[in-house]
Amino acid sequence: MKFILSLFSVLLATNLIAQKHKPFTGKLVYKIEIRDTNMRQFYPENRMIVYTNDTITRIENFTEQLGKQVVIRHLELNKSYTLINTPKGDFAIKVDHNKAPDETDSIAKKTYTLDKKCGKEKILEMKAKKLIVEHPDLEESEQYLYLKSYSNSYLNNFEDSPGLLVKYSIASPDGQLDYELIEFKEYLPERDLFGIPDNYRRVTIDEFVAIMTNQELNPEEGN
């Protein structure tokens, strides 16, 4: 009887952990702005768009230098494809994050510390909780905001966040980049958003580098 009660307690605890965050399907739009006002003429305000069906995410970033960049990531398998357009063709660079953890995630884990703080602020009429964040490149701690009800797994950073970050910043070589959620829309995105287009060549990062540096072997040379 004790064994059955213990097993029930474990299963109950596991279920409670699994239900900690509500599933989310829909679209998130973040405004990105460089904090240094003197740099804004070189780095105009930008956008990051996230689509998810709660199993796969599609993250779109836009820059004047590289145009649109798309990362499609399977949350359960922890694998992703980065879609890139080049003069040599369109490529889908595949990464198994179980074997090669994302460098950005690793850096965030090692250098950022996140501590909960009392108090709330409203973002898009939603009550967001506060985090105090410290980083070696920051002269003083910063305050982030997050939604407790939703997981931060839909973003590709700060895996230790207790909820979906809606206002945060990232240290970059050009300065501090501030992210703020400006659109939160719940719906079921079209399935095609999460697929790899047929005209994209699937390659590993090593294969992509070889192609870009003209080191790819011709089929005849590989025999």
Q: What is the pTM of this model?
A: 0.81
Which residue in 143, 173, 146, 149 sits closest to 157, CA to CA? 146
pLDDT tens digits for range 116-145:
888 899 999 999 999 998 877 777 888 999
Q: Are residues 86 and 68 in contact, defined by beta-carbon separation less than 8 angstroms?
A: no
Q: Are residues 179 and 48 in contact, defined by beta-carbon separation less than 8 angstroms?
A: yes
pLDDT tens digits for range 156-172:
888 889 999 999 998 88
What b/e readout covers 99-114, taking b as 16+ CB neighbours within 10 angstroms? Answer: eeebeeeeebeeebeb
Question: Rounded CA gap, 203 and 177, in Å?
Answer: 30
